[in-house]
Each structure stands twice: as C-alpha cells, then as structure tokens.
Amino acid sequence: MSSSYPLGYSCGCEAGYELSGDGFTCNDLNECQLADRGGCQQGCSNNVGSFTCFCGNGYTLNGDGFACDNIDECVSSLTHNCVDDAHCTDTVGSYTCSCPAGFSLKSDGFTCESDIKCASDNLCSYTCSHIEGADVCQCPRGKELSATDNTICVDIDECANNGAILCPAANNVQCANLDPGYKCECVSNEYHQVEASKCIDIDECGAGTYTCGANSFCVNQVPGYRCQCAAGYVSSGGVCIDVDECLLGTDECNADLGTCINTNGGYE
C-alpha cells in the first residue's frame, strides 16, 4: 500500500505492514483480523510483520503452514489412553476406545473391566478383573500397581519418562505431572495455550495489555513486547522526547526560501 504526495514521492510498506493515516508510518497489519484470517484453516496468531497458523486439539499443522491435518492418536500408546493400540479407533480430531472380548468399557471411556466379576472382598483400590481364573487388580491410565502392594494404584510420572516427547520445548510448553496423568503448560505467562501440547506468544499489542509511555507505540516480540518511540521522537532516560530537526539540521527545508520551525514529532 502506498500514498502519493505533491512533493513528488510516495511511501510504501513491506509485506505484513500497512500505511498509517499520516502517509509516512508503517504499522503492523493484523492478518488474523482479515476475513480469511490470513488463510489459516483453524487458528491464527498475529506477529509483527507476519502471522502464524495453529490447529486445535487432535490436529497438527500441515507443511503448507495453513491447513490442519488430523492426528492419528492410535499409532502410539503415548497419544491415547486405550488398553492397547489395537483397541483404539481414530476419529477426526479425536479417538475412541474399545475392549477385548470378555471385557466392557468403564464410564471413563478408557478402562476395560472383565465381565466376570471379582470376589466382593477384593482389595483393589481402583478396579478388579477376573483373568484366567484369578482376580487381578487394574489401574486407570496414568497409574500402575505399586511394587510393594499389588492392590494399590500409584501415579506414573510421565514427565520424568517422556516429558520432552509429550510436551516439546519447540511448542513453548513444559510437562507438569498430575495424579494421574500429565498436562503441558506454557513455559511462561507471556504465552497462551492453543492446543493440549502447544502454546503461542501473546500479542500484548493487539490485546491492548501493554504499557507504553507518551509518544511511543507497542511492538510485539516473541515473547513479550517493547515500546518504540514514534517518528520524530527519540528515547532519553526511558521517555520519548521530541527530536529538534531544525537544530540538528536534519530537516529538508530550503534555507534560501524558508525557515524551519520545530513541532512536536516533526517540523514545518
């Protein structure tokens, strides 16, 4: 986008920016506020001079950077909570579990319990299944039988075993163990979670949560933001003060035909 002036020149901006009303300043173009969200199929996150697409839970970003592809959670036990891979059925954006013959799915949608009931005096802390003629205690996903007491379920620390795989650092997340299970958390409050295992930078400038002084504007960074002095001002002691173009001799006034008069943020 450009603007023409009687002075005989026009100003233009690079891709990802748009010309402001003064005809000189380039401001970030928020592609995520456009009707097509920059072409993103699902989520869009604005950055200074560009943008990033992201996908919801159960999807992963396609190599084209715009489309979202379904994740087949059933290919690995790390990405589903079913009894095994064979009894996991992938669905668009999610999955469902089933059980082997002689077992029924519990109300949690993941745990398989034998149809033959255990003795009523079993001491299992979670559930009991009658397998091959014996009562066997079972645990929900994220727990395992204690090494010292095979009736008690204890938590599995998934983060200690597979934290880097479950919550990749490249996605700005870190693994937090739960009892049972785990969750991925953003590495800091300068990010917000858009998927179970992905966080993206918070655009404080776009959200209006920044604090910048007079004669300055917000520039988003990853992570955080910075305040930049507007054109015609310079930072001094943490505040933006006017540049006296006339005093510095940086004005374009014709010394023979006119006089430079300094103004706030410019000259005339």
Instruction: Sort 181 into a burial class: Cβ within 10 Å, 0-12 / 13-18 / 19+.
Output: middle
**Whole-number Å distance between alpha carbons of 236 and 240:** 6
Residue pLDDT, tens place only, 42-95: 989 887 788 889 888 888 889 999 999 999 999 988 888 888 899 999 999 899
Report the percentage of the chain scoring pLDDT > 90.
32
Q: Where are the domains of the chain?
A: 74-156, 235-268
Residue pair 81/141 in contact by the 8 Å Cβ criterion: yes
Beta bridge partners of 193: 199
Would you state the pLDDT for residue 120?
85
Residue 249 CB partners (closer than 8 Å, separation 6+): none
Would you state the pLDDT for residue 7?
53
**Whole-number Å distance between alpha carbons of 83 and 25:** 60
Would you state the pLDDT for residue 4?
44
Residue pLDDT, tens place only, 128-162: 888 888 899 988 888 899 999 999 999 999 999 88
Would you state the pLDDT for residue 241?
92
Residue 104 CB partners (closer than 8 Å, separation 6+): 112, 113, 115
Residue pLDDT, tens place only, 230-253: 888 989 888 999 988 888 888 888
Would you state the pLDDT for residue 70?
93
**Antiparallel, parallel or unpaired: β 262-263 and 173-177:** unpaired
Would you state the pLDDT for residue 132?
81
Would you state the pLDDT for residue 8?
60
Residue pair 36/26 in contact by the 8 Å Cβ criterion: no
Residue pLDDT, tens place only, 191-224: 988 888 889 888 888 788 899 999 998 888 888 8
The helix (run of H) or strand (run of E) holding residue 110 is none
Would you state the pLDDT for residue 1?
44
**Whole-number Å distance between alpha carbons of 196 and 182:** 11
Q: CB 93: neighbour CB atoms within 10 A?
A: 14
Residue pair 137/128 in contact by the 8 Å Cβ criterion: yes
pLDDT at 172 over 90: yes
pLDDT at 184 over 70: yes
